[in-house]
Chain A
């Protein structure tokens, strides 16, 4: 994953820093509550939401069950429409492919439209090493990039910055990257957006190469779909001569018709809109090929594994691959609201990050081992998830895997994450209230599962087996063993094979 995230402190330390920042907390709270309420209204407009959700879940499950078939079909369609398909087993390979494609054009700049997949593989850093400058063109990503910062929310990556800070970043940094901010720039959002428009237009008009992700890929037709708001996506997908799209293999959908489900619930779940301002769909080079003058003359699709096949192999964990990155689960999460996005140590924050990152990267590092514990299992995320990912179920499952790992690093990480939760009673109380209100809706998801791997000999709590508060009262008197040097010199009482997916670089 991105080197920017290497060395991130484990969840509890990072969360602690975030909760001490009153402004960040206020921004996050306002943001998540605003989107949350709007989403509920947008969803309420559709009285068949449950049927859509069930159809979406099943479409994704069918896709994942026959993923090889659909990927091959997609490859065939994209190729016959004039595109070129590349397969990347891991981040390093994907970065190498993209860098080589850019180098082959002779260009040293690319424009980028926001893409979680390219953040996941650390593409910008890899391109920089190859002498290529990648310009982020999403307003929030621009703010993050100019501020030399990390994104903190899937949808609103600069949610942790207020308008005054954004103005200062623009005034101080824009000149270094291109067209400077206009004289006398105010902190009015409209003026800030205008400054971004001018700064980036210059880049769009001269860009020869663009890099994107995609929200969906249609196997039946070879069509890629990018959903956006600002128009920077359209700029990137339309103006440059070469387009390179890096897309996770789980983003495929079998049929064109399937979009009628996903395009109904993605915008409503994410920006709480009936429909987002712009959606672009393209199939290879289009009916006129490279000659029609509409859009790029070369199109490359890089299909990314990077831990996804490991996730697919996990019977319980594989449902996470249904995720459409709508971020609805972030906005209802009491832990995310208080801890902030950076605490999750990856481009995927919030509940989805807590279940996706440890599966993509493994739980070898302390931050990744602590992620499954960064939750109170309240189930609010499952309720809003448009593809019905049972996040609490996966969290419990991953906790068991961490517990089964040899060594104390994982235990320490888990303990600290749990301790952080107890120190934030509001996060817990909100969680418990939600849980009790919705218990009947997700009986399987509540922390009742037998945490089999949590053997009696461990100091680790059987977290899933009882509410945190009860556990805490009981265990206060017996703190965990003092941290030892990490490593495998401490054999687990019952030797167990590691059950975590392989870590990917």
Chain B
């Protein structure tokens, strides 16, 4: 008998006399804030992101290239990884910063990315109540390694279309077959005497741009 069959047999034997448990009732909240007040939901997102030490910026579409250029300059970045599908206009004003594009024909290695200062991406959606960005490796986001190895991540959120209030609102909009990365603030650890330290292995600086 294979272990697979043995384990399944043992499970069935263990449960032979077990009663059917109570049915699942989902009477918890769909959201903890009024979902129709979109401006308040976006404010909540901004507040929660900042609370976990992401740097939050707001701008309009025309202001975006200037803001991104400034954020890269402020970080002292000389190179920026560019995922496939990132709108070309976004980085149009980042003068003097080397573009390091990732594409299917010539994927960047982790070693190469280790020498890249920043990465700019969009996201799939953002969850206000938890201050979370979700990336699904779609256009403008790219492979997971892009937002992992460089030490500085700038993530642009389209607030009109990409912000939801809560987890129950977020999950139906995500495709579980895609690789998903949920990011709530920069990498952190409290392993040394419970002092929170930003940045162990992921990007130590997370800039979030809330695009109006």
Residues of A within 8 A of B (CB): 27, 30-31, 34-35, 45-48, 51-52, 54-55, 58-59, 61-62, 64-65, 67-68, 71-72, 81, 87-89, 93, 137-140, 143, 156-159, 162-163, 166, 189-190, 192-193, 196-197, 200-201, 204-205, 218, 221, 223, 229-232, 234-235, 238-239, 249, 256-257, 259-261, 263-264, 267, 271, 273-283, 286-287, 292-295, 303, 305, 309-310, 312-313, 315, 318
Q: CB distance A313 to B13 under 8 Å?
A: yes
A196 to B202, CA, bound (A): 12
A223 to B179, CA, bound (A): 9
Q: Contact at B130–A275, with CB atoms within 8 Å? A: yes
Residue B89 interfacial (CB < 8 Å): no
Q: List 8 A-B contacts (CB under 8 A).
A: A34-B194, A55-B24, A196-B200, A275-B184, A277-B52, A277-B184, A277-B202, A312-B14
Q: Compute how far the CA of A256 lies from the CA of B173 in the bound complex, rounded to whole angstroms.
A: 11
Q: Is the CB of B24 within 8 A of A189?
A: no
Interface residues of B (CB under 8 A from A): 2-4, 6-8, 10-15, 18, 20-29, 32, 48, 52, 104, 107, 110-111, 114, 127, 129-132, 137, 143-145, 148, 167-168, 170-172, 176-195, 197, 199-203
Contact A229–B167 (Cβ < 8 Å): no
Q: Which residues of B contact A260 (CB under 8 A)?
A: 167-168, 170-171
Nearest CB of chain A from residue B124's CB, rounded to whole Å: 12
Q: With A65-B20, A275-B184, A283-B176 as given contacts, are A162 and B197 in contact (CB-CB < 8 Å)?
A: no
Please tell me if the beta carbons of A139 and B202 are within 8 angstroms of each other in the complex.
no
Bound form: Cα–Cα A156–B32 in Å = 30
Contact A294 B176 (CB under 8 A): no
Contacts of A31 in B (CB 8 A): 193-194
B184 touches A274 (CB 8 A): yes
Cβ contact within 8 Å between A55 and B26:
yes
A231 pairs with B201, CB closer than 8 A: yes
Given contacts A221-B176, A277-B188, contact A163 B193 (CB under 8 A): yes
| CB-based nearest A residue for B127 | A275
State whether B110 touches A88 (Cβ < 8 A): no
Closest Cβ of chain A to B99, distance in Å, is 19
> What residues of chain A lie closer than 8 Å to B172, measured between beta carbons?
257
User: Beyond A201-B114, A280-B180, A282-B179: 15 further Cβ-contacts under 8 Å?
Assistant: A45-B32, A46-B32, A52-B28, A54-B25, A139-B192, A193-B199, A201-B201, A218-B176, A234-B144, A274-B48, A277-B183, A280-B182, A281-B182, A310-B10, A312-B10
Residues on A with beta carbons closer than 8 Å to the beta carbon of B114: 201, 205
Check B176 against A287 for contact (C-beta < 8 Å). no
Cβ contacts under 8 Å, A232 to chain B = 200-201
- With a CB–CB cut-off of 8 A, which chain B residues contact A261? 26, 28
Instruction: Report which residue of B13, B168, B170, B182 has the largest number of chain A beta carbons within 10 angstroms of its beta carbon.
Output: B182
Is B182 a contact partner of A256 (Cβ separation < 8 A)? Answer: no
Rounded to whole Å, the gap between the CB of A258 and the closest CB of chain B is: 8
Q: What residues on A are CB-neighbors of B15 within 8 Å?
A: 64-65, 67-68, 312-313
In angstroms, how far is the closest chain A Cβ from the Cβ of B166?
8
Q: In the docked arrangement, what's the CA distance between A363 and B188, Å?
A: 39
B194 interface neighbour in A30, A143, A286, A292, Cβ under 8 Å = A30
Q: Which residue of B lies closest to A196 (CB)?
A: B200
Asked whether A58 lies within 8 Å of B193 as measured between CB atoms, the reply is no
Inter-subunit contact A231/B176 (CB<8 Å): no
Given contacts A87-B4, A277-B187, A309-B7, contact A230 B28 (CB under 8 A): no
The answer to whether A294 touches B145, judged by C-beta atoms less than 8 angstroms apart, is yes
Question: Among the listed A229, A238, A263, A318, which residue makes an inter-chain contact with B188, where contact means beta carbons less than 8 Å apart?
Answer: A229
Most central of B172, B186, B200 by chain A CB within 10 Å: B200
Q: Using Cβ atoms and an 8 Å threshold, which residues of chain A touch B188?
A: 229-230, 277
**Residues in B whose Cβ lies below 8 Å from that of A279:** 180-182
Which residues of the partner chain A approach B107 to less than 8 Å between Cβ atoms?
293
Q: Are B7 and A229 in contact (CB under 8 A)?
A: no
| Contact between B12 and A68, CB atoms less than 8 A apart | yes
Q: A274-B130, A294-B143, A303-B7 are in contact. Are A287 and B2 (CB under 8 A)?
A: no
In the complex, chain B residues whose CB is within 8 Å of the CB of A157: 191
Q: How far is the CB of B88 from chain A (nearest CB, A)?
A: 22
List B contacts of A310 (CB < 8 A): 10, 14
The 7 A-B pairs with the shortest beta carbon distances in the complex, nearest first, are A231-B202, A231-B201, A313-B14, A309-B10, A61-B21, A275-B130, A279-B182
